[in-house]
Amino acid sequence: MSTPDTPFVAFDPEEQAEEQARLSGHTIEDLNDYLDRGRTPSDSSIDDSPACTTALTRLERLRSALRRVDSAAVDREAARNDGWVATIIDSIRLETRAGRRIPLASDSPVARLALTEGAVIGVLRTAGDGIDGILISRCRLDGDVTEPGAPITVRLEVSVGTDGMDAGESVPVLTARLRASVYAVLVQQTELSIAAVDITVTDLYLRTTPSTPEGDADE
């Protein structure tokens, strides 16, 4: 039984049921377990679900980034209540929702083409994943995306990986590359009117460097 000093974590069955409805009966935790098992035995209810495969891709990208993080930094992160790993997991959970419908122009008088907000955020994460040293923690679209031509501000919270040297130089360089990548992908794949891309660096983490093979060390 819980004592008064034991923190109580509320369980929201409605929220979990909503998540399972989006993910073909699964939760983010189920998908993490599936990756832990190497996707074996295969589960068609996961593999054939677009929402599940999208979430799996994002979880795999997070794992790939974590493999490049210094192990001591991970240990320190585990002791924090506001850990960025937990933040990213929560963001992936939220991003499995379709969100608002973003209309697309069409020559047809009857066609109603649109993207979902979740799909656009997924595209933005992909843009960030292509930049070594950048890990997007949170992403949102501020503005009325349902209104064609309305000004939209993209707000990103990111972690930046460094090798412990020249961090002051690497941060602006990496964020500038991310901003350019985000602009490019939005122009190519959406019709949003982007007023600004606001990037906030919330964490710096140390990346591991490959060990020097024996015999390659300087004499």
Residue 90 lies in a domain: no
Residue 180 lies in a domain: yes
Confidence at residue 119, expressed as pLDDT on a 0 to 100 scale: 80
Residue 63 lies in a domain: yes
Ramachandran sector of residue 79 (left: φ over 0; alpha: ψ -120 to 50; beta: rest): alpha
200 and 116 housed in the same domain: yes
Structure-derived torsion over alpha carbons of residues 184, 160, 84, 141, reported in degrees to the nearest 10: -20
Confidence at residue 11, expressed as pLDDT on a 0 to 100 scale: 43
Confidence at residue 83, expressed as pLDDT on a 0 to 100 scale: 59
Confidence at residue 118, expressed as pLDDT on a 0 to 100 scale: 80
CA dist 24 and 12 (Å) reads 18
On average, the pLDDT of the chain sits at 75
Percent of the chain whose pLDDT exceeds 90: 21
Structural domain span for residue 123: 97-207
**Residue at token pair 């009857």:** 110
102 and 166 housed in the same domain: yes
pLDDT, tens only, 96-117? 666 788 888 766 666 667 788 8
Q: Which of 136, 170, 140, 137 is nearest to 152 (CA)?
A: 140
pLDDT of 137 > 90? The answer is no
145 and 200 housed in the same domain: yes
170 and 121 housed in the same domain: yes
Among 52, 81, 110, identify where a domain stops: 81
49 and 132 housed in the same domain: no
Task: Evaluate if pTM is beyond 0.85.
Answer: no
127 and 194 housed in the same domain: yes
63 and 117 housed in the same domain: no
* Number of domains, the chain: 2
126 and 173 housed in the same domain: yes
Among 50, 81, 112, identify where a domain stops: 81
Q: pLDDT confidence of 14, banded at 50, 70, 90?
A: low
Contact 104, 191 (CB under 8 A): yes
Residue 20 lies in a domain: yes
50 and 131 housed in the same domain: no
Q: Residue 160 maps to which CATH number?
A: 3.30.70.1350
Confidence at residue 194, expressed as pLDDT on a 0 to 100 scale: 94
Confidence at residue 154, expressed as pLDDT on a 0 to 100 scale: 95
pLDDT of 215 > 70? The answer is no
pLDDT of 168 > 90? The answer is no
pLDDT of 82 > 60? The answer is no
pLDDT of 29 > 60? The answer is yes
51 and 150 housed in the same domain: no
